Amino acid sequence: MAVSEYDQVVASFHLEQLEDNLFRSRSPAIGWRRIYGGLLLAHAVRAAELTVPGGKKLHALHGNFLRPGNTTEPITISVERLLDGRSIAHRRITLEQIGKPVFVAGISFRNEAGGLYFAPDMPVAPDPDVLPDEPAICAQYEGRLTESALKYLSRPKVFELRPVRAEQFLFAKDEPGESMLMWFRLRSGQAPDSTWNTALLAYLSDMPVLNASLRPHGRNFFDPALSMASLDHALWQHAEPDWSDWLLATHDSLATEAGMGLGHVRIYNRSGRLCATVSQQGFISLIDA
Protein backbone atom coordinates (compact mmCIF):
# COMPACT_ATOMS: atom_id res chain seq x y z
CA MET A 1 0.00 0.00 0.00
CA ALA A 2 1.33 3.43 -0.94
CA VAL A 3 2.22 5.71 1.96
CA SER A 4 0.27 8.97 1.87
CA GLU A 5 2.00 12.34 1.62
CA TYR A 6 0.58 13.20 5.05
CA ASP A 7 2.19 10.10 6.61
CA GLN A 8 5.52 10.79 4.90
CA VAL A 9 5.59 14.39 6.10
CA VAL A 10 4.64 13.52 9.68
CA ALA A 11 7.25 10.76 9.68
CA SER A 12 9.87 13.38 8.76
CA PHE A 13 9.01 15.26 11.98
CA HIS A 14 10.69 12.43 13.93
CA LEU A 15 14.09 14.14 14.07
CA GLU A 16 17.21 12.14 14.78
CA GLN A 17 18.99 13.63 17.81
CA LEU A 18 22.77 13.60 17.34
CA GLU A 19 23.70 15.72 20.39
CA ASP A 20 21.84 17.87 22.93
CA ASN A 21 21.52 20.74 20.45
CA LEU A 22 22.05 18.96 17.14
CA PHE A 23 19.52 17.06 15.03
CA ARG A 24 19.24 15.47 11.61
CA SER A 25 16.23 15.17 9.33
CA ARG A 26 15.28 14.45 5.74
CA SER A 27 12.70 15.70 3.30
CA PRO A 28 10.31 13.06 1.99
CA ALA A 29 10.34 12.54 -1.78
CA ILE A 30 6.86 13.83 -2.57
CA GLY A 31 7.32 15.34 -6.00
CA TRP A 32 8.99 18.66 -5.15
CA ARG A 33 12.16 19.59 -7.03
CA ARG A 34 13.29 21.52 -3.96
CA ILE A 35 12.44 21.09 -0.30
CA TYR A 36 9.10 22.74 0.37
CA GLY A 37 9.66 25.81 2.55
CA GLY A 38 6.96 24.74 4.98
CA LEU A 39 8.89 21.54 5.69
CA LEU A 40 11.99 23.55 6.61
CA LEU A 41 9.83 25.70 8.89
CA ALA A 42 8.31 22.61 10.49
CA HIS A 43 11.67 20.93 11.12
CA ALA A 44 13.08 24.15 12.58
CA VAL A 45 10.14 24.47 14.96
CA ARG A 46 10.32 20.81 15.93
CA ALA A 47 14.04 20.99 16.74
CA ALA A 48 13.53 24.15 18.78
CA GLU A 49 10.65 22.79 20.84
CA LEU A 50 12.61 19.60 21.64
CA THR A 51 15.03 21.82 23.59
CA VAL A 52 12.42 23.91 25.42
CA PRO A 53 11.43 22.67 28.90
CA GLY A 54 8.35 23.41 30.95
CA GLY A 55 5.51 23.10 28.44
CA LYS A 56 5.98 26.48 26.77
CA LYS A 57 4.10 26.95 23.47
CA LEU A 58 5.29 28.38 20.18
CA HIS A 59 4.91 32.14 20.20
CA ALA A 60 6.77 33.53 17.19
CA LEU A 61 9.11 32.55 14.38
CA HIS A 62 11.18 34.91 12.22
CA GLY A 63 13.20 33.11 9.56
CA ASN A 64 15.12 33.55 6.33
CA PHE A 65 15.36 31.14 3.40
CA LEU A 66 18.97 31.33 2.22
CA ARG A 67 19.35 28.54 -0.36
CA PRO A 68 17.12 26.02 -2.11
CA GLY A 69 16.93 22.78 -0.15
CA ASN A 70 17.93 19.52 -1.85
CA THR A 71 15.47 16.68 -1.27
CA THR A 72 18.20 14.04 -1.72
CA GLU A 73 20.49 15.34 1.04
CA PRO A 74 20.05 15.10 4.85
CA ILE A 75 19.39 18.26 6.82
CA THR A 76 21.53 19.09 9.86
CA ILE A 77 19.72 21.25 12.42
CA SER A 78 21.67 23.10 15.11
CA VAL A 79 19.97 24.83 18.04
CA GLU A 80 21.44 27.70 20.04
CA ARG A 81 19.75 28.23 23.41
CA LEU A 82 19.67 32.01 23.75
CA LEU A 83 17.19 32.33 26.62
CA ASP A 84 15.35 30.13 29.10
CA GLY A 85 13.35 32.65 31.10
CA ARG A 86 10.41 32.22 33.41
CA SER A 87 7.92 33.26 30.70
CA ILE A 88 9.88 33.19 27.44
CA ALA A 89 12.36 30.80 25.83
CA HIS A 90 14.23 31.77 22.67
CA ARG A 91 16.22 29.67 20.23
CA ARG A 92 18.35 30.39 17.17
CA ILE A 93 18.04 27.60 14.59
CA THR A 94 20.25 26.84 11.58
CA LEU A 95 19.36 24.20 8.98
CA GLU A 96 22.32 23.15 6.81
CA GLN A 97 22.98 20.87 3.87
CA ILE A 98 26.49 19.93 2.68
CA GLY A 99 27.94 22.44 5.17
CA LYS A 100 25.95 25.44 3.93
CA PRO A 101 22.99 27.11 5.69
CA VAL A 102 19.66 26.65 3.93
CA PHE A 103 17.34 28.26 6.49
CA VAL A 104 17.92 30.23 9.71
CA ALA A 105 15.37 31.37 12.27
CA GLY A 106 14.79 32.89 15.66
CA ILE A 107 11.96 31.03 17.43
CA SER A 108 10.28 32.07 20.68
CA PHE A 109 8.12 30.07 23.08
CA ARG A 110 5.96 31.39 25.92
CA ASN A 111 3.89 30.24 28.84
CA GLU A 112 0.16 30.21 28.22
CA ALA A 113 -1.43 32.98 30.24
CA GLY A 114 -4.49 35.22 30.43
CA GLY A 115 -4.54 38.98 30.07
CA LEU A 116 -5.88 41.37 27.47
CA TYR A 117 -7.37 39.80 24.36
CA PHE A 118 -8.25 41.12 20.92
CA ALA A 119 -8.30 39.59 17.45
CA PRO A 120 -9.97 40.59 14.18
CA ASP A 121 -13.24 38.77 13.61
CA MET A 122 -13.17 35.83 11.25
CA PRO A 123 -14.67 36.85 7.90
CA VAL A 124 -18.07 35.50 6.99
CA ALA A 125 -17.55 32.59 4.59
CA PRO A 126 -19.68 29.78 3.15
CA ASP A 127 -19.45 26.47 4.94
CA PRO A 128 -16.61 24.40 3.41
CA ASP A 129 -18.93 21.43 2.99
CA VAL A 130 -20.97 23.31 0.36
CA LEU A 131 -17.90 24.33 -1.67
CA PRO A 132 -16.44 22.21 -4.50
CA ASP A 133 -13.46 20.04 -3.59
CA GLU A 134 -10.26 19.90 -5.66
CA PRO A 135 -11.41 17.12 -8.06
CA ALA A 136 -14.64 19.03 -8.72
CA ILE A 137 -12.68 22.24 -9.38
CA CYS A 138 -10.39 20.40 -11.82
CA ALA A 139 -13.41 19.01 -13.66
CA GLN A 140 -15.18 22.37 -13.78
CA TYR A 141 -12.22 24.38 -15.07
CA GLU A 142 -10.26 21.66 -16.88
CA GLY A 143 -10.09 23.53 -20.18
CA ARG A 144 -8.86 26.74 -18.57
CA LEU A 145 -6.35 25.53 -15.99
CA THR A 146 -2.60 25.66 -16.57
CA GLU A 147 -0.63 22.43 -16.30
CA SER A 148 0.84 23.56 -12.97
CA ALA A 149 -2.62 24.34 -11.57
CA LEU A 150 -3.94 20.92 -12.57
CA LYS A 151 -0.91 19.21 -11.05
CA TYR A 152 -1.22 21.17 -7.80
CA LEU A 153 -4.94 20.51 -7.40
CA SER A 154 -4.69 16.85 -8.37
CA ARG A 155 -1.88 15.93 -5.99
CA PRO A 156 -3.06 14.47 -2.63
CA LYS A 157 -1.30 17.10 -0.52
CA VAL A 158 -1.04 17.07 3.27
CA PHE A 159 -3.82 19.67 3.38
CA GLU A 160 -7.00 19.59 1.33
CA LEU A 161 -8.05 23.07 0.24
CA ARG A 162 -11.35 24.63 -0.76
CA PRO A 163 -11.23 28.23 -2.02
CA VAL A 164 -14.31 30.27 -1.20
CA ARG A 165 -14.12 31.76 -4.72
CA ALA A 166 -12.43 29.31 -7.07
CA GLU A 167 -12.02 31.82 -9.91
CA GLN A 168 -10.35 34.29 -7.57
CA PHE A 169 -7.81 31.64 -6.58
CA LEU A 170 -7.28 30.12 -10.02
CA PHE A 171 -7.44 33.13 -12.31
CA ALA A 172 -6.71 36.08 -9.96
CA LYS A 173 -10.23 37.48 -10.36
CA ASP A 174 -9.93 40.18 -7.74
CA GLU A 175 -11.95 42.85 -6.02
CA PRO A 176 -9.89 45.73 -4.55
CA GLY A 177 -9.60 45.45 -0.78
CA GLU A 178 -11.16 41.97 -0.70
CA SER A 179 -9.28 39.14 1.00
CA MET A 180 -8.96 35.78 -0.71
CA LEU A 181 -10.53 33.18 1.61
CA MET A 182 -9.44 29.55 1.68
CA TRP A 183 -10.52 26.61 3.83
CA PHE A 184 -7.82 24.05 4.75
CA ARG A 185 -8.16 20.62 6.37
CA LEU A 186 -5.73 17.81 7.06
CA ARG A 187 -6.20 15.16 4.42
CA SER A 188 -5.60 12.40 6.95
CA GLY A 189 -9.21 12.75 8.14
CA GLN A 190 -8.20 12.56 11.79
CA ALA A 191 -6.69 14.77 14.46
CA PRO A 192 -2.95 14.10 14.71
CA ASP A 193 -0.98 13.39 17.84
CA SER A 194 -0.64 16.71 19.72
CA THR A 195 3.15 16.27 19.43
CA TRP A 196 2.92 17.58 15.86
CA ASN A 197 0.68 20.63 16.48
CA THR A 198 3.35 23.29 16.06
CA ALA A 199 5.17 21.50 13.23
CA LEU A 200 1.92 21.20 11.26
CA LEU A 201 1.11 24.87 11.82
CA ALA A 202 4.56 25.84 10.54
CA TYR A 203 4.07 23.55 7.54
CA LEU A 204 0.67 25.07 6.73
CA SER A 205 1.93 28.63 7.20
CA ASP A 206 3.82 28.48 3.89
CA MET A 207 0.69 27.63 1.81
CA PRO A 208 0.58 29.85 -0.34
CA VAL A 209 1.47 33.22 1.23
CA LEU A 210 3.28 34.87 -1.67
CA ASN A 211 0.32 34.18 -3.93
CA ALA A 212 -1.54 36.97 -2.13
CA SER A 213 0.98 39.57 -3.27
CA LEU A 214 0.23 38.75 -6.94
CA ARG A 215 -3.51 39.36 -6.84
CA PRO A 216 -3.42 43.15 -7.34
CA HIS A 217 -1.56 42.44 -10.60
CA GLY A 218 -4.08 39.92 -11.92
CA ARG A 219 -1.63 37.04 -11.51
CA ASN A 220 -1.15 33.99 -9.30
CA PHE A 221 1.52 31.42 -8.57
CA PHE A 222 0.27 29.18 -11.40
CA ASP A 223 1.42 31.79 -13.94
CA PRO A 224 4.13 30.18 -16.16
CA ALA A 225 5.63 33.64 -16.85
CA LEU A 226 6.56 34.11 -13.19
CA SER A 227 9.47 32.90 -11.10
CA MET A 228 9.06 33.11 -7.31
CA ALA A 229 11.23 32.34 -4.29
CA SER A 230 10.51 32.91 -0.59
CA LEU A 231 13.03 35.04 1.29
CA ASP A 232 11.78 35.66 4.80
CA HIS A 233 8.92 34.32 6.86
CA ALA A 234 7.21 35.46 10.05
CA LEU A 235 4.72 33.37 12.03
CA TRP A 236 2.93 34.28 15.25
CA GLN A 237 0.80 31.66 17.01
CA HIS A 238 -2.14 33.00 19.03
CA ALA A 239 -3.99 29.73 19.75
CA GLU A 240 -3.59 26.10 18.77
CA PRO A 241 -5.41 25.06 15.59
CA ASP A 242 -8.17 22.48 15.79
CA TRP A 243 -6.74 19.90 13.40
CA SER A 244 -9.91 17.78 13.56
CA ASP A 245 -11.83 20.41 11.56
CA TRP A 246 -11.48 22.96 8.77
CA LEU A 247 -9.37 26.10 9.19
CA LEU A 248 -10.13 29.36 7.35
CA ALA A 249 -7.23 31.43 6.00
CA THR A 250 -7.45 35.01 4.75
CA HIS A 251 -4.86 36.02 2.12
CA ASP A 252 -3.97 39.68 1.49
CA SER A 253 -1.31 41.63 -0.37
CA LEU A 254 0.65 44.18 1.67
CA ALA A 255 3.05 45.44 -1.01
CA THR A 256 4.89 44.64 -4.23
CA GLU A 257 7.94 46.67 -5.24
CA ALA A 258 11.47 46.24 -6.66
CA GLY A 259 10.85 42.63 -7.63
CA MET A 260 9.55 41.78 -4.15
CA GLY A 261 6.14 40.70 -2.96
CA LEU A 262 4.81 40.78 0.60
CA GLY A 263 1.86 38.56 1.50
CA HIS A 264 -0.14 38.39 4.71
CA VAL A 265 -2.32 35.53 6.03
CA ARG A 266 -4.53 35.01 9.08
CA ILE A 267 -5.57 31.48 10.06
CA TYR A 268 -8.77 30.86 12.06
CA ASN A 269 -10.33 27.83 13.68
CA ARG A 270 -13.80 27.12 12.35
CA SER A 271 -15.15 28.40 15.68
CA GLY A 272 -13.77 31.86 14.81
CA ARG A 273 -10.70 31.89 17.06
CA LEU A 274 -7.61 33.44 15.46
CA CYS A 275 -4.84 30.82 15.56
CA ALA A 276 -1.98 32.42 13.67
CA THR A 277 -0.77 35.42 11.70
CA VAL A 278 1.75 34.96 8.87
CA SER A 279 3.73 37.36 6.70
CA GLN A 280 6.18 36.41 3.98
CA GLN A 281 8.29 38.32 1.48
CA GLY A 282 9.89 36.87 -1.61
CA PHE A 283 11.32 37.48 -5.08
CA ILE A 284 8.82 37.80 -7.89
CA SER A 285 10.28 38.09 -11.37
CA LEU A 286 8.91 37.91 -14.91
CA ILE A 287 10.64 35.12 -16.81
CA ASP A 288 10.07 36.82 -20.16
CA ALA A 289 11.09 40.29 -18.94
Q: What is the pLDDT of residues 127-152, one digit of tens each?
A: 999 999 999 999 999 889 988 899 99
pLDDT at 177: 66
Instruction: Answer whether 203's CB lies under 8 Å from 39's CB.
Output: yes
- Amino acid code (one letter) for 273: R
pLDDT beyond 90 at 227: no
Which of the two residues, 84 and 113, has the higher pLDDT score? Answer: 84
In percent, the amount of the chain with pLDDT more than 70 equals 95
pLDDT, tens only, 244-260: 999 999 999 888 887 89
Q: What are the angstrom distances between the C-alpha of 247 and each of 93, 99, 146, 240, 255?
A: 28, 38, 27, 11, 25
Among the residue ranges 19-23, 54-58, 100-104, 275-279, the one predicted with the least confidence is 54-58
The confidence score (pLDDT) of residue 182 equals 96
What pLDDT was estimated at residue 259? 87
Q: Which domains does the chain have, with CATH numbers?
A: 1-112 (3.10.129.10), 128-227+239-289 (3.10.129.10)
Do residues 192 and 10 make contact, with C-beta atoms less than 8 angstroms apart?
Answer: yes
3-state helix, strand, coil in the chain (%, to 5): 20, 35, 40
Alpha-helical regions (H) of 53-209: 134-140, 147-154, 166-171, 197-204
Q: Tell me what pLDDT residue 220 has.
A: 85
Among 91, 87, 104, which Cα is nearest to 41's? 104
Estimate the crossing angle of helix 37-49 against helix 197-204, to 10 degrees.
Answer: 150
DSSP 173-239: ---TTPPEEEEEEETTSSPPPGGGHHHHHHHHTTSSSHHHHHGGGT--TT-TTEEEEEEEEEEEESS
What distances in angstroms separate CA 68 from CA 65, 130, 225, one per listed residue? 8, 38, 20
Cβ neighbours of residue 246 closer than 8 Å, sequence gap 6 or more: 128, 162, 183, 184, 185, 270
Residue 288 confidence (pLDDT) above 70: no
Please, which pLDDT band fits residue 176 given cuts at 50, 70 and 90? low
pLDDT band at 188 (very low <50, low <70, confident <90, very high): confident
Confidence at 175, pLDDT banded by 50, 70, 90? low
CA dihedral 225, 229, 231, 237 (to 10 degrees): 100
Q: What percent of the chain has pLDDT over 90?
A: 68
The confidence band for 191, taking pLDDT boundaries of 50, 70 and 90, is: low
| pLDDT given for residue 66 in this prediction | 97
What pTM does this model have?
A: 0.94
Angle at 38 between CA 37 and CA 41, to 5 degrees: 90
